[in-house]
Amino acid sequence: MFIHQRKNWTDFKWNNDKLLPLLANVRHLQGRLLGQMENLGFKFQEEAVLSTLTLDVLKSNEIEGEVLNKDQVRSSIARRLGLEVSGLVDSPRNVDGVVEMMLDATQNYMKPLTTERLFGWHAALFPTGYSGMYKIEVGKYRSGGMQVVSGAMGKEKVHYEAPKADLLEAEMNRFLKWFNNGSETDPVLKAAIAHFWFVTIHPFDDGNGRIARTITDMQLARSDGSPQRFYSMSNQILTERKKYYEVLEGTQRSDGDITEWMEWFLSCLGNALTNSREVLESVLAKAKFWEQHSQTPLNDRQRLMLNKLLDGFEGKLTSSKWAKIAKCSQDTAIRDIQDLINKGILRKEAEGGRSTNYELQI
pLDDT digits (tens, 9 = 90+) for 236-252: 999 999 999 999 999 99
Which pLDDT does position 151 carry in this prediction?
Answer: 72
Last residue of a domain, one of 265, 286, 307: 286
Is residue 294 included in any domain, yes or no? no
Instruction: Give the residues of the chain that fall short of pLDDT 50.
Output: none
pTM summary value = 0.84
What's 102's domain CATH number?
1.10.3290.10
Which pLDDT does position 352 carry in this prediction?
Answer: 56
Which pLDDT does position 78 carry in this prediction?
Answer: 94
Q: In whole angstroms, give the CA distance from residue 128 to residue 193.
A: 32
Last residue of a domain, one of 286, 312, 335: 286
Which pLDDT does position 45 carry in this prediction?
Answer: 86
Is residue 293 included in any domain, yes or no? no
The b/e string for 216-232 (b: 16+ C-beta within 10 A; e otherwise) is: bbbbbbbbbebbbbbbb
Is residue 292 included in any domain, yes or no? no
Q: Within this chain, do residues 159 and 265 fall inside the same structural domain, yes or no?
A: yes
Which pLDDT does position 290 carry in this prediction?
Answer: 84
Which pLDDT does position 4 carry in this prediction?
Answer: 96
Residue range of the domain that includes 143: 3-286
Number of domains in the chain: 2
Q: Within this chain, do residues 349 and 203 fall inside the same structural domain, yes or no?
A: no
Q: Within this chain, do residues 132 and 182 fall inside the same structural domain, yes or no?
A: yes
Q: Within this chain, do residues 205 and 351 fall inside the same structural domain, yes or no?
A: no
Q: Within this chain, do residues 281 and 304 fall inside the same structural domain, yes or no?
A: no
Which residues, including other chains, have CB under 8 Å from residue 302's CB and lie 6 or more apart?
A: 336, 339, 340
